[in-house]
Amino acid sequence: MRAKVMFLADRARFREELRLFQQALGAVAVAFGHSLVMREAGLSDESEETAVAQAFESEAVVLAAGQERASAFARRLGCFAGLRTYDFPEAAQAFSRLKSGELPGGAVVWPLSGLDVQLNKAAVSAVAQAAQGGEPLALCPPAEQESVWKSAASRAAMYAAQPAPSVRAMEDVFTDRLTALSRRQAVWAPHQGALLLDRLLCHLGGCAPLAYTVYLAEDRCLHVPETDGRSALSLFSMLYAAADLLKRSLRLEREADCLKTAVDNVLASGWRTAELPEGGKTVPAEEIVRLVGEQVALAGELFDRLR
């Protein structure tokens, strides 16, 4: 296939680091015979209109920016919900802050506005995410919009032939996750509650460097990788976001699975970058991308032989 991928960054350093994201996608494109036209641009107040236009011309969009700017840009693209998924490899148990090595499972979804149309679309996405993971959906509506949220979620569940979501208080969801972090559950909550829950899950599981955010629109997605706390992008966040972009934005499920498996294997082999907890073989980010690219190339060769 041929597709355009737009890379936007609000800092020069982010723009440089996103080239590792491009290298990972490029390795997949070469291995499986795709043509990905990757463009990059800075994002500032003055260039935002141009960036929005370029994003609409692309099949996939990646943004490296802080949470506030990313959320605002997502709204400009017509996104109606944010999404954080928790599907980490067993090797990530080494990062958990719990003696049990538990990792979070499931997803957190939040609407980008309180408008009925946006809420209805966010409800559909939350129900679909829960169905995809085979997990229950917990609904944590704000008190002033509880009836609207319940109606939207119940309607979405009915059309999807899924069980009606359970209405939960946010503090009860927090308590559940504290006592059983790895229990898979999809949660639909207001932005602030979703953010706090995500921070709790990522802190206890130690998996923030592997996580990323996806903003959902009807015809596109916006992928936002995580920073490592030092104003730099987390490499493994970019790699896992790249796999999700292949699947969610470009509909290349085989290629997405290949890239994700390659990244999982690199972690399982003990290779690490500086933003990850100590205990493995720490190497520069470029070396990790090279190791991932080698596995992707081998998978592409095998695919060619089997065709």
pLDDT in tens, 137-168: 999 999 999 999 999 999 999 999 999 899 99
- 126: tokens are 């939350």
Q: Which residue has the tokens 């596995």?
A: 295
Decide: residue 90, CB within 10 A, 0-12 exposed, 13-18 middle, 19+ buried. Answer: exposed
Task: Say yes or no to pLDDT of 229 above 70.
Answer: no
| pTM for the predicted model, two decimal places | 0.96
pLDDT tens digits for range 7-19: 999 999 999 999 9
Mean pLDDT of 191-213: 96
Terminal CA-CA length for the chain: 17
Averaged confidence pLDDT in the chain: 94
**What is the pLDDT, as a whole number, of residue 230?**
62
Asked whether 69 and 218 are in contact (CB, 8 A), the reply is no
pLDDT mean over 26-42: 96
Q: What's the CA gap between 162 and 147, in Å, rounded? A: 19
The structure tokens 């592997």 sit at 210
Residues 6+ apart with CB under 8 A from 1: 34, 35, 250, 252
Q: What is the pLDDT of residues 48-78, one digit of tens each?
A: 999 999 999 999 999 999 999 999 999 999 9
Q: Is the pLDDT of residue 264 over 90?
A: yes
Amino acid at 242: A
Phi, psi of 97 (to 5 degrees): -85, 0
Mean pLDDT throughout 220-235? Answer: 88
For residues 266-284, average pLDDT = 90
For the chain, percent of residues with pLDDT exceeding 70: 99
